[in-house]
Amino acid sequence: MARDLSVDMKNHWRPDAAFFGKRNREQLVGIAKECGYADGNGSLGGYKKSELISWLVRHFVNAHSTAEPTAAQRKARQWLPEAMLFPAVDPNAPAEIDEQAESVAEVTEED
């Protein structure tokens, strides 16, 4: 339905402190890497959870408020949690096998 209506959550939703607060530290580090925050900020190992939340909120606010975003800010503008991606991403789905691997398997089975 979201595709049919051309809804792109990147235009309507921004992560905030409440969203980040519900994530554990490991998840926050993963988000920091995916959204570009970790690109210029080295190791995140010394950050406390509350510091990560604060810096991530600032990173997203700055990314969406600047007229000329940096590469890291462009990543933040494009980032969404998996649940908001369309088409939906199923993290538990088996990995897709490429067509070439399938054809090799079929030939092997026939022999």
Q: Is residue 81 part of a domain?
A: yes
Number of H helices, E strands in the chain: 5, 0
Write down the pLDDT at residue 39: 80
pLDDT digits (tens, 9 = 90+) for 59-83: 999 999 999 999 999 999 999 998 8
List all residues 6 or more positions away from 74 whose beta carbon is below 8 Å from its beta carbon. Answer: 36, 63
pTM summary value: 0.70
Q: What share of the chain is helix, strand, coil (3-state, %, to 5)?
A: 55, 0, 45
Write down the pLDDT at residue 91: 60
Q: Is residue 97 part of a domain?
A: no
Write down the pLDDT at residue 20: 97
Q: Is residue 111 part of a domain?
A: no
Write down the pLDDT at residue 44: 84
Q: Is residue 72 part of a domain?
A: yes
Write down the pLDDT at residue 101: 46
Residues in the chain where the model's pLDDT stays below 50: 98-101, 103-105, 107-108
Write down the pLDDT at residue 107: 47
Q: Is residue 47 part of a domain?
A: yes
Q: Is residue 30 part of a domain?
A: yes
Count up the domains in the chain and report the number.
1
Write down the pLDDT at residue 108: 43
Domain that holds residue 51: 9-85
Contact 76, 89 (CB under 8 A): no
Q: Is residue 108 part of a domain?
A: no
